[in-house]
């Protein structure tokens, strides 16, 4: 399990590095929305290529079989990249990432408690609430 935590932590590194890279792209293009679109386009091409190399290309043929609401993940991903491109210049990377993580943790607590979106219900313990409160504290400290 620790290898999975390490892999996800490296994903967090990618998010922190991606924001200033995308902000530089936005400066180069002169606008954040086109920068987010270009970033998504590159990611799209990489993921399609990887899925084809892995022999998973047939999955695209089943797109009409999935519930339409599941496509909202792409919208939410676009919002995530846009706010990162837009916000990193004014907030800085530490505050941006702290705010993103706080939002993720708040939503995760609700999802775990309710089991919405097909997830298993998980207990919201005082320890998990304290973890979110520590992220909030880090966000506040990053703004001082």
Q: Note whether 2 and 17 are same-domain residues.
A: yes
Q: Note whether 80 and 96 are same-domain residues.
A: no
CA 97, 75, 9, 42 torsion-angle sign: negative
- Is the model's pLDDT at 14 over the cut of 90? no
Q: Note whether 52 and 114 are same-domain residues.
A: no
CA neighbor of 85 nearest in space, from 136, 45, 39: 39
C-alpha to C-alpha distance for 6 and 127, rounded to whole angstroms = 21
- Is the model's pLDDT at 8 over the cut of 90? no
Q: Note whether 61 and 114 are same-domain residues.
A: no
Q: Note whether 19 and 63 are same-domain residues.
A: yes
Q: Note whether 54 and 105 are same-domain residues.
A: no
**pLDDT tens digits, one per residue of 133-143:** 999 999 999 98
Indicate the number of domains in the chain.
2
Domain with 139 in it: 92-144
Q: Note whether 82 and 109 are same-domain residues.
A: no
How far are the Cα atoms of 7, 9, 10, 16, 105 from residue 3, in angstroms, in the given order?
6, 10, 10, 20, 21
**pLDDT tens digits, one per residue of 48-89:** 999 999 999 999 999 999 999 998 988 998 898 889 888 998
Q: Note whether 136 and 76 are same-domain residues.
A: no
Q: Note whether 83 and 96 are same-domain residues.
A: no
Q: Note whether 126 and 80 are same-domain residues.
A: no
Q: Note whether 78 and 97 are same-domain residues.
A: no
Q: Note whether 60 and 123 are same-domain residues.
A: no
């Amino acid at each position: 399990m620790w290898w999975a935590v390490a892999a996800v932590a490296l994903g967090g590194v990618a998010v922190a590095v991606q924001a200033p890279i995308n902000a530089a792209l936005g400066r180069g293009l002169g606008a954040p929305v086109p920068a987010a679109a270009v970033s998504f386009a590159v990611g799209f091409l990489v993921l399609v290529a990887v899925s084809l190399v892995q022999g998973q290309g047939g999955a695209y043929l089943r797109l009409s079989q999935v519930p339409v609401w599941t496509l909202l993940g792409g919208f939410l991903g676009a919002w995530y990249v846009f706010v990162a491109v837009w916000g990193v210049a004014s907030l800085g990377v530490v505050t941006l990432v702290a705010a993103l993580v706080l939002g993720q943790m708040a939503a995760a607590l609700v999802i775990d408690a309710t089991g919405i979106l097909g997830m298993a219900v998980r207990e919201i313990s005082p320890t998990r609430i304290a973890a979110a409160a520590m992220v909030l504290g880090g966000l506040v400290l990053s703004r001082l």
